[in-house]
Amino acid sequence: MKNQTILPFLALCMLGPVNFYSQSAEPAEEKKKTTKLFRTQEVLPVKLRFSNKQMKKETNDSTYLFSKLLFMDNDQWDSIDVRIRARGNYRRAHCYFPPLKVKIKKAIAKETIFKGNKELKLVMPCVQSTKSLDNIVKEYMAYKMYEVISPFHFKTRMVSIDYTELKGKKDKVHKVKGFLIEDIDKVAKRENAKKMKRIVHPMEQDDIASAQNDFFQFMIGNTDYSTAYQHNQKLIFTSDFKTIPLPYDFDMSGLVDASYAVVSQVQGEVLSIESVTDRLYRGFKRDEAVFQEVRKQYLDKKSEIFQVMDEVKPQFDNEKEFMIARNFVEDFYEILENDNQFEMQIIRKARLK
């Protein structure tokens, strides 16, 4: 049943043009606009020293710890002064290592590979275990997959972290994986857009970009987002007057399948699934042509999606975790390639409110 005839595509060709966003447009130009830090995907070795206990208990949106960030550049260690704080309330409460926000003064970053990045997110593993470290790789992989789908995305880079946890008389060294995420300001600047803080209902956002986002969340099995309330989403307003959603924070997805992950209840809404590895489409109902255009895009990009996954494979410590993730995405494509499944799991599940 996998290869049923996909008749809606024939109809789509007769409906006229639909706005379409693709990562393939002007990749060289985009690279020029990307800061040096994110122009390469080589793993960046870094070193940090701070008290994890102090980080979790004493930092907040306005309170940071001062530290030094050591990094490898041209086979030599360099360092910059940074301010760091914990972010992500759920992971702060349930994980040993919280994700971090890093601030760097413009003048300090200017002469380094961090030039142009005043604020960054540093995603840390939940705990130091092989499974948790591979979860970091899976979440990073999700960001790279979205780059294939849309030009409107956050740039990321894997880091190997040598973290010295200050614990009084006996400091403890942790060697873990993580990744850096650029700030929304950099995305907006690269796309000649403005970041938006106000609430914009998904039906008032660009149809194609919004559906791309919803298909992606369905692909990775994520319900922990809301474009209406900007929960794990940012919005930008482009020069051609389109409101575009940008997704982030995928640790609650079925693709990652973290030990602490639970089915999201955004705004208290109880969903019909019991496990994060169960898929549920959370996008809104749109014109049939939009669904079919985005469906076609994902099918056209299938080989690129799996190429991205295969390129990240060497980062995994346990090959089994990689194969589980790959099979999870294969299941998504089986839905897209089957007219009945596509109708039942996406078209009919699309929300009206």
Q: Look up residue 266 and give its two tokens.
A: 């955004």
pLDDT at 79 over 90: yes
The pLDDT, as a whole number, for residue 89 is 84
Residue 12 half-sphere exposure toward CB, CA atoms < 13 A:
17
- pTM over the 0.85 mark: yes
pLDDT tens digits along 88-114: 888 888 999 999 999 999 999 998 999
Give the contacts of 188 (CB within 8 A, at least 6 positions apart). Answer: 194, 195, 236
**What CA–CA distances, in Å, run from 12 to 21, 103, 195, 287, 347?**
17, 47, 33, 11, 15
Break the chain into its structural domains and give their ranges.
8-29+191-347, 36-124+153-186
What are the helix (H) ranges across 129-206? 130-149, 184-190
CA dihedral 152, 158, 164, 167 (to 10 degrees): 50
pLDDT at 7 exceeding the cut of 80: no
Separation between Cα atoms, residue 268 and residue 109, nearest integer Å: 42
How far is Cα 311 from Cα 303, in angstroms, rounded to an integer?
A: 12
Phi-psi region of 333 (alpha: psi -120 to 50; beta: other; left: phi over 0): alpha
Output 49 or 13, whichever has higher pLDDT: 49
Question: Residue 264: what pLDDT?
Answer: 84
Calculate ∠ Cα 314-315-316, nearest 5°: 90
Residues 179 and 159: their CA atoms lie apart, in Å, by 5
Q: What residues contact 265, with CB distance under 8 A and at least 6 apart?
A: 271
pLDDT number for residue 208? 98
Residues 252 and 222 sit within 8 Å (Cβ to Cβ): yes
Q: Are the CB atoms for 68 and 80 separated by under 8 Å? A: yes
State how far the Cα of 47 lies from the Cα of 56, in Å rounded to an integer: 19
Q: Is a pLDDT exceeding 50 seen at residue 248?
A: yes
Q: Which of 17-21, 136-140, 144-148, 290-294 has the lowest average pLDDT?
A: 17-21
The rounded distance, in Å, linking the Cα atoms of 195 and 236 is 4
pLDDT band (50, 70, 90) for residue 4: very low
Q: What is the pLDDT of residue 44?
A: 98
Q: Sign of the CA dihedral 108, 110, 113, 118?
A: positive
Distances (CA, A) of 249 to 7, 271, 323, 344: 36, 19, 22, 27
Whether 8 shows a pLDDT value over 70: the answer reads: no
Of all residues in the chain, what percent are helix, strand and coil, respectively (each to 5)? 40, 20, 40
Please determine, for residue 116, whether its predicted confidence score (pLDDT) is greater than 90. yes
Residue 110 CA to residue 118 CA, distance in Å, equals 10
Does 299 or 30 have the greater pLDDT score?
299
Q: What is the pLDDT of residues 14-61, one digit of tens each?
A: 434 344 444 444 466 666 589 999 999 999 999 999 999 999 999 999
Give the lowest-confidence range in 100-104, 167-171, 347-351: 167-171
pLDDT of residue 22: 46
Average pLDDT, the chain: 91
Closest CA to 218 of 345, 351, 348, 352: 345
